[in-house]
């Protein structure tokens, strides 16, 4: 069976995004904390509890959607897609 992963772009953000990954995976928590440090603000707090207005800010939306995609992908055991697609897809899969 072939597998395709489709990643979202700006506009797919929502309050609570990534929270279940953060709560259930030590690895995901590490990625969120690294992003908080790199960005210089707690993007995880905005992602988990932010308002729609806060999440619509480009300086939040772009890294939030990217981070959520990375975390989701990296926490799938033995993820080996045959193809990938998405809006603003970065080359983070290899």
Using one digit for the tens of pLDDT, what is the confidence trace for 25-77?
Answer: 999 999 999 999 999 999 999 999 999 999 999 899 999 999 999 898 888 87
**CB count, 10 Å around CB of 4?**
9
Residue 91 has what pLDDT?
46
The pTM (predicted TM-score) of the whole model is: 0.81
Mean pLDDT value of segment 9-15: 85
Helices and strands in the chain: count of H runs, count of E runs: 5, 2
Q: Are 48 and 91 in contact (CB under 8 A)?
A: no
């Amino acid at each position: 069976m072939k597998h395709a992963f489709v990643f979202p772009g700006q506009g797919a953000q929502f309050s609570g995004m990534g929270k279940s990954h953060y709560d259930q995976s030590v690895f995901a928590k590490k990625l969120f904390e690294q992003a908080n440090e790199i960005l210089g603000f707690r993007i995880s707090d905005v992602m988990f509890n932010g308002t729609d207005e806060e999440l619509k800010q480009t300086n939040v939306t772009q890294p939030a959607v990217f981070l959520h995609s990375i975390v989701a992908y990296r926490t799938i055991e033995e993820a080996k897609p045959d193809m990938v697609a998405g809006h603003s897809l970065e080359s983070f899969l290899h």
